[in-house]
Amino acid sequence: MKAVIQRVARACVTVDGRVTGKIGRGFLVLLGVGEGDTRAEADRISKKLVNLRIFSDENGKINLSLKDVGGALLVVSQFTLYADCRHGNRPGFTAAAKPATAEALYEYFMEKCREEIPVVEHGVFGAHMDVELLNDGPFTVILE
C-alpha cells in the first residue's frame, strides 16, 4: 500500500461535474493498493497517517498531528502509484491490486481513518476524477 499525503488548506474531488468530497485544512491522500496488500497494511498506514505530526504548533515547530488540529481527510484511490516505468515508455500496472481487492481495502482504510478522524471525504473508486487542492507548504509525505 502506498499513500501520498499532501498537507492542504483545502481540497476537493469532482466526478462528472459533481463534488464527491471536499475538505478544508487537512490531508489529501492519494492511496494506491498493491497486489498482496492486506488489512494489516491498511491498519499500519492509517495509524501512521492520523498521527503524523506535520502541522506547526504555536511556536512554529512541526509538532502537531491531524488529530491535534482537528483536520479532515480527503482520500482518493490512485492505482497509478504502482506504475512500472522501467521498460519502454508505457507504464505497466501489474503491481497494483485487482479492482475488487483494491476497492475493498480502500473502503477498509477509510473506515479505519474514521475511527480517529471525524471528517473523511473521498472520491469515487475507479472513476475519472478532477482533484483540486491548495497545498499548504507545500508539504508532501509518502508512506509505504
Residue at grid coordinates 481495502: 105
Q: Report CA-CA distances (Å) from 68 to 52, 95, 99, 116, 119.
A: 10, 35, 34, 11, 14
Residue at grid coordinates 462528472: 16
Question: Does 118 sit behind a cis peptide bond, omega within 30 degrees of 0 on the bond before it?
Answer: no
Residues known to be catalytic: 78-80
Asked if residue 7 lies in contact with residue 136, where contact means CB atoms within 8 angstroms, the answer is yes
Three cell numbers, residue 45: 498506514
